[in-house]
Amino acid sequence: MAPALANQAEMAAHARAMNDIAATPPCCYGGDDEDQWQGYEPNFSAEDLQEMLHRSKVEEAESLRKHQQRMARDSDYRAFFDGFWNFRPAADNAPGQYCAARFYREGSSMMILGPGGGSPYAYLALYGRGVPKPKSAQKLTVQLHQTGEERQTVEVFNLPVTGTGGDGMLLMAVPSMDALLEGMLDQHRFEVFDRKHENVLYILEWTGGLAARDKLRACVNAK
């Protein structure tokens, strides 16, 4: 999926549509002597350390056991970790317009929004705790990694979004819905870093992408 540039009015219209959808369901010692050692001196023995490591492994194993038990019995808990899709069909009076699918996993989500309002562009909207939340819309240059493609430097819109628990949104334009759908993989990972490739802004990996693609295509092609 190759991001493209869209004009600001088109981006704003799609951002409003996405907003509507989203609103629904150690340190150091401060002495003066710079040459003085200021590191941490442990006050426990090697035996104490071994005991702490052993206890940590036991606790980790117990946490994993409880996690697996809950995964087996709690469908909502399982969906949080495995991820799930939901879909918004086009309005009855506008078939094929603004068809949308959203994948949610472990606190991050991605929305795919089809063309609408006469614009040919489709959009990817990325939400997550690491996404900056500006006071108003702004452009960002980011580094995008996705399955099967080389790293790309792309320009995206960064917007504040209501209804997402305080997350920001990264909005990427794709030249057409056909191009976006053709680029979808069944298992597809996205990683977004800042311009200098120092800070992670967003990570998500979806599954079930081909079924979601087919459902979106049917929505877009409806007459």
Q: Could you list the mean pLDDT of each consecutive 10-residue stretch along the chain, which spans 223 residues?
A: 60 59 45 51 66 75 80 76 84 85 89 88 89 90 93 92 73 92 95 94 94 94 82
pLDDT for position 71: 74
Query: How many Å apart are CA 68 and CA 73, to the nearest integer?
Result: 9
User: How do the residues of the chain divide into helix, strand and coil, expressed in percent and rounded to 5?
Assistant: 30, 30, 40
Nearby residues of 8 by Cβ (< 8 Å), 6 or more positions away: none
pLDDT for position 29: 40
CB 167 within 8 A of CB 127: yes
Q: Tens digit of pLDDT for each residue in 165-209?
A: 567 899 999 999 999 999 999 999 999 999 999 999 999 999 999
Q: CA nearest 207: which of 184, 175, 191?
A: 184
pLDDT for position 68: 80
**Could you tell me which residues are beta bridge partners of residue 84?**
104
Query: How many Å apart are CA 60 and CA 170, to the nearest integer?
Result: 35
Q: Name the average pLDDT for the chain.
A: 80
pLDDT for position 201: 95
| Ramachandran assignment for 54, one of left (phi > 0), alpha (psi -120 to 50 degrees), beta (any other) | alpha
Q: Kind and range of the H or E element at 49? A: helix 46-73
Nearby residues of 85 by Cβ (< 8 Å), 6 or more positions away: 101, 102, 103, 206, 208, 211, 212
pLDDT for position 206: 94
**214: its two tokens:** 């087919």
**79: its two tokens:** 């969906």
pTM attached to this predicted model = 0.67
CATH topology of domain 83-220: Immunoglobulin-like (2.60.40)
Residue 45, Cβ neighbours under 10 Å: how many?
A: 9
Q: CA nearest 204: which of 181, 217, 187, 216?
A: 187
